[in-house]
Each structure stands twice: as structure tokens, then as C-alpha cells.
A and B are shown apart, each in its own frame.
Chain A
Amino acid sequence: MSTTVDTVTLSPSYTRRVAVHPWALAIVFVSFILSLPLIAVAGSFLIPAKDIWQHLLQTVLPEYIVNSLFLMLGVGVMTALLGIAPAWLVTMCKFPGSRMFEWALLLPMAIPAYIIAYTYAGVLDASGPVQSWLREITGWHYGEYWFPEIRSLGGAIAMLSFVLYPYVYLISRAAFIGQSICALEVARTLGCGPYKTFFKVALPLARPAIIVGLTLVLMETLADYGTVQYFGIAAFTTGIFRTWFGLGNSAAAAQLSALLMLFVIVLIYIEYWSRKQQRYYHTSSRYGFLSQKKLRRWPAIIAIIVCSLPVFSGFLIPVGFLMKWASLTYKSVVDQQFYILMWHSIMLAICAALLATVLALFMAYGKRQYSKPLTKIAVNISGMGYAVPGTVIAVGVMLPFAWLDRTIDNLFKSYFDLSTGLILSGTLIALMFAYMVRFLAVSLKTVDAGLTKIKPAMDDAGRSIGMKSVTLMRRVHMPMLRGSLLTAILLVFVDVLKELPATLILRPFNFNTLAIRAYELANEERLADAACPALAIVFVGIIPVIYLSRSISTSRPGHDVST
């Protein structure tokens, strides 16, 4: 007796599973190109520069390290204080204005640190309105009284904290909301009052999330250039800048950058570790009805003060003064030149945003289709740029571009007896490349989040009813991704518009943007004139804040789930 067996010939794509797909290769290639600046910075240690180190160690390096550490410590403590308490209050309590504070507490995110630094310097300086008013009512003269010096380490800590605390606020608020209300209620049934519940259960539960928020804050603190530069604090970023442009020592600048990166790597590791911890700190997938405690009288007043303090100091006061100054100066400042600045800024930001989003789509989509360890690692590496300070990226971009320019120049000289000069250095291409290194992470994260919403089962369902890859992409994936893509474009747009140090170093000669102009005017002590470009940046910066506040008001688990 014989049986016939139907055989199915497998298509090559099913049989050759080992082969690396070109798309995956392309992803690895892109991520390699984007890590070149970091490789260049790390590689700078190979250049012998012993005497430089001797010099640095004896002179400025200890100061850079100590200042940067104090800056991190101060900003860390202050953002925790400014961010956690309001997050808890708006999540758990109801008091006049609590719904408004929920989003208003995010507003300071719209202001870049360097802008708030100029503004407060203008307000609190000896010639500023506060001290003038003080002299007027007391009759004292300048020098006869003590007034806190804003241009100091303490001042820089305050400025950075005022605009960076929203990271802590946002993340700890999400953690508090995500905590199963049951865990808190259990604590109460076990005899804990509201304060004990907060300190023994809610806060420890939110700890990994708060640490993630703090690491982001500290990364921004390390990356800050505008504030420490303006306040004259010798920190890493100002040191790198000074070593390169002041002392003309690119090798030492690169090595300082590498050292700064060690700090950043420690932060990245802490962030990664805390995110992993968060998984275990997840209490529930089911949320109880969130009943907010109504506060009256004194508790309500204290809550309002705790919540309005950060909003006032981080947004309303500086924006108020900027508006006042802008109203005085806009006639002389807003001219043809100003529109060119805006045009430059917007063009640059739009190009970078589109490019970053297309790249992100390419990488995230590729990772989804050809998920191999190598592609995953490549994509993850490309997503780390957010942690790298703009100054370091600028240094890292200049090194390979300068090498490329020199090589091309030499080639042309030897073959055609022709000097090409600098082709790429100091061009928009170099700048755009730096933006990709720094901000691809932003678009990548957004697009990736959008893609995870498209479950593999949807692909299977589409294929099972006969959709081809292209149809699937056009009819299923793209419509579902549209929102994420727009968000990615928007977020990168705003980030690029606000960016200062990389733009400052890499921009083509005489190419100005709003951020650069504000920086230049402030450094010329023309603070009032700097108000117009600064305000323009702040207003654009509000866009993602609105977007964020809308998404947090809709993401309240337990708010509409009845028991």
C-alpha cells in the first residue's frame, strides 16, 4: 500500500532564515554612521596628550568636575522638591485650581534654561527692577546691602531646576496614577494615615519612576551650556567650548568630552536599571476608582502655594518680564533681519524634523519586520543620542568631518592639484547630522511607541484575508501611525528650534537662528533686545506642552472605570 503525500515547496524567504536582510543591514549602517561622533570622541583618548592632561588636572579639571557635581546635586534635590509634591497633590487631592495645575505645572518645559537664566539675570541684577525697587523703598545705595548673586552656582541650580522639574513632575505623577489605588487603600486599612501612606507606600513605589525622571533632569543639567556659560561657571560644557575655541586644542576638548560622556553613561545605566525595576513595582493592571480627597481651608491654601510656586517661578514671572521687555523693544528688534532669523530657525527645524521622522520610521519599521538582536542593538544605540550633550556631539561631528574634508582636499591636491578647502565642515549638512545624532532618539521613541500599538496579530489578520505587504502598510499601518508621525515631527521641530550649543558650534558662518540671536544679545548685555527672539522660542515651545497636557488628561486609568 502506498500513500501519496502532497508536498509544498517553501518559498526562499521561508527557507533562508539565516541570511541578513538588506533592510537590517541598512539599519546597522545608519546607526553606525550616527555613532561616529561618539566613536570619534571616545577615540580621542588614543591620541597621546599627556601634557594636556597634566595641565588640565592642575588647572581647570577639578573645578569642572566639582562644579558639575554640585550642579547635579543641587538640581537633583531641587527638582525633586519642586516636582514630587505637586504631582502627589494634583493626583490625590481636589482643591481650587487642581485641574488647572495638572497642565500648568508643565509650562516651564517650554522655556529653555538659557532663556530663563537671561531673564532672571535681568530681573535680579543690580540694575534690574527688583533691586532698583528695593533701593527706592529703603533708600540704600548699591553696595550697602546684601543681595543674592544670581550669576553663581546657586543661581544656575535654581534656573535649571525651574525649567527641568517638569520631568520629575510628569513621571512621578504618572507613577502615582499608575499605582494601584488598592495598594494605597490597603495601607489605610492596615492603620496608616494619609502621611504614613505617602511615605511608606506611595513614595517607595514611585521611587524607580522618580529616579528615571531625575536621571533625565541630570542629563539635561550636564548638557546645559547656555546657563553655565552666561553665569560664568566653569563646568564641563563651558570647559569643552573654551578648550576648543579659546585654547584651540581640539584633542583636549575631545578628551574632556569623553570624560563628560562617562558621567552620562553612568546616568544612562541608572536610568536603564530603574526602568527595569519599574516593571516589578507595577502593582496592578486593574485600577480602582480614584477618589480624590477634597481639601478645604488651610490644607487647600498650602496645596495651592505648593503648586503655584513652580509655575510662577518657572513660567509666569520670566514670561511676564520677557513680554514687558519685548513690548518695549519689538519696534527696533523685529525687522527684516528678525524675519530672516525666524525663517532660518523654522526651515532648519522643519528639515531636521522631517529627516528625523523618516529615519525613525525607517529604523523602527525595519526593526519590527526584521527583529534580530543586531538590528535591535543598532536601533537602541541610535536612540541614546538624547543623553549626549550638544557640545559633545558638536565636537564629535567636527572631528570626522574635518578629517573627511582634509582627506578629500589632499586627494584633490595630489591628483588634480586643486584645493577643495572645507566641503562639509561648517555647513548645514554637518549641523543637520548633529541634530540627527541628538534628536533621532525623540522621533524614534515616538514612532516605536506608535508601532507597538500595531499588534503582530493585525498583520496576520491582514495577510490571512489576502493583503500584500504594500497594501497592509498603506491600509493598516500608515493610518494607525499617522498620529505618532505627526507627534514625532512636532517634538523634533521644537527641540531643534530650542537647541543652542551644537548650533552655535556647527552653524555656517553668519548663519543665525532665534536661539543664537537670543544668546548673542544676552551676552552683549542687551537683555531687553533678547526678549523678542526668546519669546518666539518660548511660544513655539508651548506647542508640545499643550500636546503633553492633552495626552495626560486623557490617560487617567481608573478615572472612567467604575467599580
Chain B
Amino acid sequence: MTSALELKNISVAYDNHKVIDAISFELNEGDIGCLLGPSGCGKTTLLRTIAGFEAPQDGEVWIRGIRVSDRKRLVPVELRHAGMVFQDSALFPHMTVRENIAFGLQQIHGGRKEARITELVDLLAVGEFLDKYPHQLSGGQQQRVALARAIASRPRILLLDEPFASLDFELREQLAREVRNVLKQDGITAVMVSHNQLEAFAMADIVGVINEGRLLQWDTAFNLYHRPATAYVADFVGEGVFLSGKVIGDKEVQTELGTITGTISLGLNHGAAVEVLIRPDDIVHDDNSAMTAKVLDKAFRGAEFLYTLMLASGTRVLSLVPSHHNHPINEPIGIRLEIDHLVVFPERG
């Protein structure tokens, strides 16, 4: 079976400065992928390379078994049949919502065109403002129309460039889930670019973390959080701190919080200096515990407090504690380790 999208060793450079460095991944039919990374990491460039706006310096892009970009050839954007949604909806301001959607259906005429528009209207709930102009719509409505326009002609692949970034914070996750449902219903393969992990997790089946032009990990959200491939991924996805430790067994690490035992072999030499990832949910507050840490700071998050704690050695760790445990700053509180996934990296120089 051919995958819907395949990147083979893609490198992109501007003026000899490498922006994308040998990135490869595959996306299956109907899956939603997300490229996650800080701004300036190259994720948008990668998306534009898939769309055909940028030419790769090296490597190949395949869309549904057709090679669309390589070192020599570049299938023009308009022939790739890749739908695209931008951060600012980029709706055509001189056309009504209906005309905007119909713009994506130029090759289709008559009854089939009307039928598809009706279908999209139902799918995206844009019926109320079909005859309005873009400037009369809210940001969320605009993005829904932009999505309808992009998927109108059933593109071979849909590309979304930070599609929710210009929306209100509360609206983002809600719309991300809505969009996910629409894409799944319509069976569309999509790649999204985002710097917001919650958005990425809400949308995507598979997420790639990109930093400085390299794809660090291409995996499910669960694995990115619990089995990060590199220290950067561990740091970028979710909250957490690194604790120094020493390997004392095949699955065991000695830290100042005690010995931590994992479930799989660490594959490191005995005695090696390592860093252990401690997530806020790995440290559980227990008033009966002998081990204590001093409260340095706390942030109220409704159901929980996120405590910043200082261990005896001065190292800081985070802990998520149910919010009825309200402890003042500077008070030592009892803590206990509860680690399901031991994540260890060799100590950085």
C-alpha cells in the first residue's frame, strides 16, 4: 500500500543556510499529522515544500504515489491538488462565502457543484452566513469557511499552517476537535503545523517534533510525552525537570529522590551519569512521606496546584497536587515518587 504522503530525506536551504535538514516521514491515508515546534524551527517551510511553494535542495516528496518534488523537478502548486489553510483565513474579500467555497470547485459544474457545496455547508455549519462577505464573519467562522474552500474539491492532501493561531484561546481546542471530526468524516489526509502542543494533541493522530530543521521524533502524542526520543522533545512537550542520576542497574537509576526502576532496559553502562525526566505527575504529594521538599512557588489551576518544590540539594522539581492540599510558600511538604515511565538521557555536556 502506498502512503498518502511520503517525504524522503528532504532538505531545504535559503542562500546556503539549511532550514530543513534531511527530514523523512510517512503519513497513512486518512491520518492527520502535525509538525510541532517553536517558531523559526522550519516547520512552515516544510509544509510549503509539500505544497510546492518551496523547492527542496535535496530529497523527494511523494503524494499518493506520485513524485511531486525532487532535486530537478517541481510539479507546480496548482497541479498538486493540495488544499491549504493559512493562519489568517486568506479568504478572498471580494467574494461571498458561497463564492469563496465555489472557487475551490472550478472544475466541477452544475448539480454536482451545488451538491458538494450543500455537503460542505452541513459539514462545517456555515449555512447561516453563506451570502455574507468575509469581513462580516468572526475569526472562527472565517477559518471554517477557509477549511470548506480548501477541502471542497477533495484534495489529495490538506495542509494547515497554524490554522488556529489567530483565534481566541478558548476557541482553539474546540475548533481543533471540530476540524478533526470533519476531516475524519470526509476521509481527508492532512498535515498541520503548530507550535501549540494542546492543539496538536487535539487534532493529530501522529505528531512530529521539529527543532532547528531536524525532525526529532515522529510518534503518537502519548509516546512524545512518555517516551520522548531526545532531551529536547522531553523538554518541549509537557512540563518537567531533569534530575541528575547515576545508572546502577540495567533498569535502575540512583537519584537524590531514591532509586527509580523502569520497565525496560536503559541500555547504558553501569555508573554512567544521566539525566532523569521528572514530570509534575511523577511526584505525588503525600503527607505521610518521610521525604520532604520546600514549597517555592505555586500556581493555582483549578482542580490542581502546580507546586514548584526545592529538594534538599537545592534542585527544583514540579509537582501536580489536588487543590484541596493548599500549602503556604516555604512550608516543607511530604512527597513520593510514582514513575510509570522512566525516561533517561545521557548527561549533557
Binding site for B on A (CB under 8 A): 180, 182-183, 185-193, 200-201, 204-205, 207, 279-286, 288, 291, 562-563
Considering only residues 22-68 of chain B, those with a C-beta below 8 Å from chain A are: 40, 44-45, 48, 51, 53-54
Count chain B CB atoms within 10 A of each CB in A201, A285, A286 and give the residue with the most. A286
CB atoms of A563 and B45 under 8 A apart = yes
CB atoms of A190 and B88 under 8 A apart = no
CB atoms of B149 and A190 under 8 A apart = yes
CB atoms of B92 and A190 under 8 A apart = no
User: Knowing A189-B82, A205-B94, A280-B133 touch, does A285 contact B88 (C-beta < 8 A)?
Assistant: yes
Decide if B81 is an interface residue (CB 8 Å cutoff): yes
User: Knowing A186-B84, A286-B88 touch, does A191 contact B107 (C-beta < 8 A)?
Assistant: yes
Report A-chain residues with C-beta under 8 Å of the C-beta of B106. 190-192
Report B-chain residues with C-beta under 8 Å of the C-beta of A291. 53-54
Q: What is the CA–CA distance of A426 and B45 in the complex, to the nearest angstrom? A: 68
Report A-chain residues with C-beta under 8 Å of the C-beta of B91. 183, 283
25 contacts between A and B (CB under 8 A): A182-B88, A182-B90, A185-B51, A185-B86, A186-B92, A186-B150, A187-B92, A188-B77, A189-B51, A189-B78, A189-B83, A189-B155, A190-B103, A190-B150, A191-B78, A191-B79, A192-B106, A193-B78, A200-B103, A205-B94, A279-B135, A286-B88, A291-B54, A563-B44, A563-B48
Give chain B's interface secondary structure class.
Answer: loop
Considering only residues 136-172 of chain B, those with a C-beta below 8 Å from chain A are: 146, 149-150, 153, 155, 159, 166
CB atoms of B93 and A185 under 8 A apart = no
Cβ distance A272 to chain B, nearest Cβ, rounded Å = 18
Residue from B53, B107, B155 within 8 A of A185 (CB atoms): B53
Binding site for A on B (CB under 8 A): 40, 44-45, 48, 51, 53-54, 76-84, 86-88, 90-94, 103-104, 106-107, 133, 135, 146, 149-150, 153, 155, 159, 166
Please name the residue on chain B nearest to A189 by beta carbon: B84
CB atoms of A193 and B45 under 8 A apart = no
Report B-chain residues with C-beta under 8 Å of the C-beta of A187. 92, 103
CB atoms of A280 and B135 under 8 A apart = yes
CB atoms of B76 and A193 under 8 A apart = yes
CB atoms of B86 and A182 under 8 A apart = yes
Q: What is the CA–CA distance of A282 and B93 in the complex, to the nearest angstrom? A: 7
Q: What is the CA–CA distance of A191 and B106 in the complex, to the nearest angstrom? A: 8
Q: What is the CA–CA distance of A305 and B298 in the complex, to the nearest angstrom? A: 69
Report A-chain residues with C-beta under 8 Å of the C-beta of B86. 180, 182, 185-186, 288
Cβ distance B57 to chain A, nearest Cβ, rounded Å = 15
Please name the residue on chain B nearest to A280 by beta carbon: B135
CB atoms of A562 and B150 under 8 A apart = no
Report A-chain residues with C-beta under 8 Å of the C-beta of B150. 186, 189-190
User: Knowing A291-B53, A563-B45 touch, does A186 contact B76 (C-beta < 8 A)?
Assistant: no
Please name the residue on chain A nearest to B47 by beta carbon: A563
User: Knowing A205-B93, A207-B94, A280-B133 touch, does A180 contact B78 (C-beta < 8 A)?
Assistant: no
Cβ distance A186 to chain B, nearest Cβ, rounded Å = 5
